[in-house]
Amino acid sequence: MMKPYECTQCGSTDFEDINLKKVRCVYCGSLFHLLKNEPTLSINDGANVVFGKTANVEVRGDIQIEKGARVDILGKVTVLKGKKQQEFSLKLIKG
């Protein structure tokens, strides 16, 4: 079944469900814990980020901008919060 995350070992998005919290990559057989999280976009000190006029960026979670980072927003940046727009990440159990 195609999933909204990819295998960290081979890049496949085709997984079989083992249970609610575990999936296995169909291609390379790696087993993963499925972690749900809301990632934070973090812009570090010293970074120089420009979202140009034609930018249309959607950030899920939070934007965290460190002191010292330079961020110019000329385009559109949308920050989405809430559980509906959930991202997933995988933690490798064994390859």
Distance CA 15, CA 93 (A): 14
- Least separation in angstroms between CB 91 and Zn ion: 14
Task: Identify the helix (H) or strand (E) that includes residue 24.
Answer: strand 22-25
Binding residues among 12-51 for Zn ion as defined by CB under 5 A? 12, 25, 27-28, 30
22 is written with which tokens? Answer: 């575990």
Nearer Cβ to Zn ion (28/71): 28
- Cβ-in-10-Å burial (0-12, 13-18, 19+) of 24 comes to middle
3-state secondary structure of 49: strand
Residue reference for tokens 């973090």: 42
Segment contacting Zn ion by CB under 5 A, of 1-9, 31-39, 55-63, 79-87: 1-9
The correct pick among 9, 18, 69, 77 for binding Zn ion (CB under 5 A) is 9
- Least separation in angstroms between CB 77 and Zn ion: 33
Contacting positions for Zn ion (CB under 5 A) = 7, 9-10, 12, 25, 27-28, 30
